[in-house]
Structure formats: structure tokens, C-alpha cells
Amino acid sequence: MRDWLYEPLSAERFGWMVLSILILLGVLLFLVTYAIYVQRKLLGWMQSRVGPNRVGPYGLLQTIADVLKLLTKESFVPTHADRPLYLLAPIVAFAPAFVVFAVIPLTDRIAFTDIGIGLLFYIGVASLSTLGVIMGGWASNNKWSLIGAMRAAAMMISYEIPLVLAALGVVMLAGSINLVDIVEAQRGVWNVVPQFVGFVIFLIAALAELNRTPFDLTEAESELIAGYQVEYSGFRFAIFMLGEYVYLFAMGALIAILYFGGWLPPHPALDFIPGIVWLVVKTLFFAYLPFWLQATFPRVRIDQLMTFSWKVLMPLALVNIAFTSLVKTIAGGVS
Amino acid sequence: MAANLVVFLIVAAFVLIGGMVMLTETRVLHMAFAVALSFLGIAAFFFLLGAEFLGVMQVIVYTGAVTTLAVFGIMLTKHDAEDPPANPNRWHRLLSLFVSAALFAIFFYALIRTPLYTPVERETPISAAEIGAHLFSGQYVLAFELIGVLLLAALIGSVVLAKEDAPDRAKEDRR
């Protein structure tokens, strides 16, 4: 990234930048479209239903029809809403989800930008989505959306701490917060083995960050209608949902990179399959896992949620850090 | 025009717009979000200068934490959503014009007089590992530890304050 900063901004270079952004957006839109399809189909099967099967073969075009419906719907703004914030909120919630893909490396060479502090960048930018959620919840001028937004903010802030503390174990093992270095440090054995406790904490906290079952209190259809999105419809609702699903893939990629060796194959003998395939397979698996859990778990209560984060996950993550540093010091990794 | 100049101008425009909106807006919540925009722009400046760690810290601490804290504070406290627009008289206007012009002159003078530090040519941005190593060197370790103690005291203080509304059994028994 730093090389082009000091060169003249030619039309060609600008064109490439725009093109690569559009390609990333296209890929993400495709993934999200079919993630929603897979989610509905899976939930259907797990609940002994058929799932979408009307639009196109096997219902494959169902999500596309849904998106078209959302786009042609009236974009409604409540009379007493805080208009500027109401219009801005979906964008603020979605933009960080898209920006974090800038630092996620696809292989050791293909990455939008390979900055030295990739993991920190991801965590910092992802935390900005909370602002969009609060903004939307407040601007809607609706008690359900405000309660939903408050819950979302409290939850995202509380679970960010165990998330970061768990990831710290991986950082200590690799001795770097660059995502490429973290993957390269897993050449021998994937981090999920030495950092299993950290992985479990990270996975739970990630589910909470993504607002997925069993932590989907922010939406909680049965008690809060739809949380902070109650008043949103049509295109703006679609943007909120898009942000949520894009995070699913970003978090899937992050889990794959931090704990499952990123683009490294499970065994060196499988090296002939290109690394990007491994990363995509792992990412898709961890993007699919929340759907599975959604059909399995009931929703937790808000007080249980907070207690669990502060009294269980955080101390456990601290113990994990202490233990990791102890092992690393004994092994003589620290100079 | 070099790319960094283009990026700088765009980001500077955002920072200034954020500041202007913050000053002219009458709704408190809008002010908080406008300041968040300025904070984000300043983070972008850090990135532009190659201080990636500082940039991310600016995003986490200011854009993320401080703004969220401010927004929570505004939402949870009782106040009118909209402040009455200030209606200053002529003397008030003149005085504020004078103060801001004088402040600008002082800052501008100081800026002009400061010898510009010519940065050492570096191939790579300053890494987080370097910052960490410097923090734990003899020069900064005392300050680092003191800040840690300060934060711990703040944490304990906030816990004590937040615990106050729990029913105090001992006090009730004594009555």
C-alpha cells in the first residue's frame, strides 16, 4: 500500500483500485446471497421442513428474488425519526464489515494490503459497527430498537474483551500481529492444538460479536421484534443484513487464519492444492458453523450473557495468556 | 499530483467537516457522531504517515471507545434531545471572533516557527514490535507501569461506584 502513496495517481492505477474493490464487493454479494440460501435450507432440514424450493431449481434463486423485493420496497422513514442519523446508520454499520477485508490475506502473496498490524486493524475497525447499531437504534425513535441497540452495544463491548484476550495467545505464539506471520508460524502445528482453550473462547466471543444464536439478543424476534432494525425496511434493512452476513465471512476467515493455519494444508502432502482453496474451504466452514448452532441452541438471557462474558470467559482468557507466556518462557522463545 | 496528497486533501476535508458539524449542530448526539468522523480522519492521517499502530489505536480508543462512551452518556442521562440554538448578542459575537482569530494567529505562528522535522527515510513503517520494545526499555518502563497502576485504580473506582446500588444489608440491620 505504501508504494503507491508516493507515486502520481494515474487514471490507470485509480481504475485498478476501483476494479479490485468492485470485484471484492461482487464476490461478497455472491457469498452473502448464497449464505442466506444455505442458512434457510439448513434450518429447514434441521427442523424437518423443505426450505426454499420455489424460485429456480432447488430454490436457488430465492434470495435473489428476496433482494429484488427489498430493493423495490418503499424506503420508509418514520416521521419522528432522527432523519440524518437514521439514513446514515446502515452505512456506518456496513462499511467496517467491508473494510476489514482489506487486511485479510488470501494467500501469503495475495492480500489487499499487508500491513504490519493486521489483527489489530481488524479488531479496531470491526468495533466501529457498534456505532452504526447504536445510531440506528436511537434514530428510529422506537423503544424496541433502542433496547435492542443498548443490548447490542453492551454485548459487543463486553465480548470484544475476551475475543482480543483469546487472540493474544495466538499473537504470543507467533510473536507478531501480522496475519501473514501468524499463519506462517503455524507451519508445524496449527494453533488450534496448543491454543485450544483460546480457540473455544474466541469462537464463543465471535458468535456474540456476530449477534448469532445463542447470543442473538439484539434481534430476539420473540421479545424485541427485531431489535435495532425494527423501523428499517427495504434497501436500508438490506444493507444492515448485508453487513451482518459479510461479518460472518470476515470472522470465518479470521478464525481460519488465527487457529486453523489459513492457507496451509492439513498435511504437507496435500500441498498440491493451492492455498487459497484451503483458506476458502476453512472460511466457509466457520461461516457455516453459526447456522448449525442457530438450529441447536436456545437464546441466553441478557444477565446470563453479561455474567458469562465477565466472570467466565475473561478470567479463562487471562489464565490462557499467563499459561502461554509461561510455556513460551520455559521453551526459551523469548530472548 | 501524488496519491498521498489526494488522500490527504480528502481526509482533511472530512476532519474539517466533522469539526464544523460538531460546532454548528444543536443536537448533542449529532455532535458526538460528528466528532467521531473527525477522530476517524485523524486516524487516517496516522496511516498516511506510516504510523499504523497509532492509527489503529486512534480508531480503537477515540472513534470506538470514547464515542461509544459519549453516546451512552447522552442516551442514559436525562436532557432535551435538542439544545436551544445559542443566540449571542453583538458583543458576544465580536469577542468570540477576536478570541478565535487570536488563537489561530498563535497556533499559526507556532507552526511556522517550528523547524520541520525531516523524517529519516524508512523502507517499512514502524512495527508494533519496535514500539513494544521501546515501551519496555529503561526510558519508558516506569511511565508505562505508572499508567497501568492508574488504569487499575480507575477500574477499581468504577466498580466501587457501580456497586453502590446493591442493597447494603449491614446498614439496614443497624437501623
What's the average model confidence in pLDDT over A70-95?
Answer: 84
Out of A78-82, A191-195, B33-37, pick the least confident: A78-82
Residue A233 C-alpha, separation from nearest chain B C-alpha, in angstroms: 23
Confidence of residue A319 (pLDDT cuts 50, 70, 90): very high
**The amino acid at B166:** A
| B1 shares contact with chain A (CB less than 8 Å) | yes
DSSP for residue B66: I
Residue A307 C-alpha, separation from nearest chain B C-alpha, in angstroms: 15
| B63 shares contact with chain A (CB less than 8 Å) | yes
8 Å CB contact between A264 and A186: yes
- Chain A residues with CB under 8 Å of B50 CB are 2
Helix (H) or strand (E) holding B171: helix B169-174
Chain A positions with Cβ closer than 8 Å to B:
2, 4-9, 13, 82, 84-85, 88, 115-117, 120-121, 123-125, 127-128, 130-131, 134-135, 138, 146, 150, 153, 157, 175-177
Q: How many CB pairs under 8 A join A and B?
A: 86
Regarding predicted confidence, which is higher, A138 or B151? Answer: B151
Instruction: Answer whether A121 sits within 8 Å of B30, measured CB to CB.
Output: no
Q: Which residue of A has its CA nearest to B34?
A: A85
- Chain B residues with CB under 8 Å of A134 CB are 68, 71, 75
Q: Tell me the HSE value of B6 on the side-chain side, using a 13 A CA sphere.
A: 12
Instruction: Answer whether B64 sits within 8 Å of A131, measured CB to CB.
Output: yes
pLDDT value at position B166?
A: 57
Which cell is A240 given? 444492515
Nearest to A295 by CA among A221, A214, A226, A224: A214
The radius of gyration of chain B's CA atoms, rounded to the nearest angstrom, is: 23
Instruction: Answer whether A117 sits within 8 Å of B53, measured CB to CB.
Output: yes
Tell me the CATH architecture of domain B1-82.
Answer: Up-down Bundle (1.20)
Angle ∠(A144,A150,A153) on CA atoms, nearest 5: 140
| B64 shares contact with chain A (CB less than 8 Å) | yes
8 Å CB contact between A229 and A238: no
Per-residue pLDDT tens digits for A252-286: 999 998 888 888 888 777 777 788 888 888 889 99
- Which of A88, A120, A145, A159 to substitute to test the interface with B, most B CBs within 10 Å? A120
Domain boundaries, chain B: 1-82, 127-163
Which cell is A91 given? 452505512
- Chain B residues with CB under 8 Å of A117 CB are 52-53, 56, 127-128
Instruction: Answer whether A124 sits within 8 Å of B56, measured CB to CB.
Output: yes
Per-residue pLDDT tens digits for B65-89: 888 888 888 877 766 656 666 666 7
The C-alpha atoms of residue A255 and residue A287 are separated, in whole angstroms, by 10
Q: Tell me the HSE value of A115 on the side-chain side, using a 13 A CA sphere.
A: 26
**Helix ranges, B25-163 (H):** 28-48, 52-58, 67-76, 90-113, 128-135, 141-162
pLDDT value at position A116?
A: 77
**Helix ranges, chain A (H):** 2-5, 11-46, 62-72, 83-99, 118-126, 129-139, 143-174, 179-184, 196-209, 221-224, 234-259, 275-294, 302-307, 314-331
**The amino acid at A306:** M
Q: Which residues lie across from A136 on neighbouring strands? A: none
The radius of gyration of chain A's CA atoms, rounded to the nearest angstrom, is: 21
Q: What are phi and psi of A50, to 5 degrees?
A: -95, -35
- Residue appearing with cell numbers 473527525: B38
The C-alpha atoms of residue A51 and residue A62 are separated, in whole angstroms, by 10
Regarding predicted confidence, which is higher, B110 or A299? Answer: B110
Instruction: Answer whether A116 sits within 8 Å of B124, measured CB to CB.
Output: yes
List all residues of chain B from 122 to 151 with a beta carbon under 8 Å from chain A: 124-125, 127-129
- Which of A121, A133, A151 to substitute to test the interface with B, most B CBs within 10 Å? A121
Core vs surface per residue A1-17: b (16+ CB within 10 A) or e: ebebbeeebeeeeeeee
Q: In a 10 Å sphere around its CB, with 0-12 CB exposed, 13-18 middle and 19+ buried, how is residue A240 labelled?
A: buried
CB atoms within 10 A of CB A239: 19
Instruction: Answer whether A7 sits within 8 Å of B2, measured CB to CB.
Output: yes
The C-alpha atoms of residue B94 and residue B97 are separated, in whole angstroms, by 5
What's the average model confidence in pLDDT over A117-126?
Answer: 87
Q: In a 10 Å sphere around its CB, with 0-12 CB exposed, 13-18 middle and 19+ buried, how is residue A176 labelled?
A: buried
| A220 has pLDDT over 80 | no
pLDDT value at position B14?
A: 92
| B119 has pLDDT over 70 | no
Q: Which residue of B has its CA nearest to A129?
A: B64
Confidence of residue B98 (pLDDT cuts 50, 70, 90): very high
Residue B147 C-alpha, separation from nearest chain A C-alpha, in angstroms: 19
Instruction: Answer whether A124 sits within 8 Å of B36, measured CB to CB.
Output: no
8 Å CB contact between B30 and B21: yes
Out of A56-65, A178-187, A261-270, pick the least confident: A261-270
Which cell is A22 given? 468492485
3-state secondary structure of B82: strand
The C-alpha atoms of residue B103 and residue B109 are separated, in whole angstroms, by 10
Q: Which residues lie across from B27 on neighbouring strands? A: B82
| B30 shares contact with chain A (CB less than 8 Å) | yes
Q: Tell me the HSE value of A104 on the side-chain side, using a 13 A CA sphere.
A: 29
Domain boundaries, chain A: 9-72, 76-331
Instruction: Answer whether A123 sits within 8 Å of B52, measured CB to CB.
Output: no
- Which of B14, B29, B52 to substitute to test the interface with A, most A CBs within 10 Å? B52
Confidence of residue A321 (pLDDT cuts 50, 70, 90): very high
8 Å CB contact between A176 and A188: no
- Chain A residues with CB under 8 Å of B71 CB are 131, 134, 138
CA separation, residue A60 to residues A24, A34, A63, A283, A295 (Å):
22, 8, 7, 21, 21
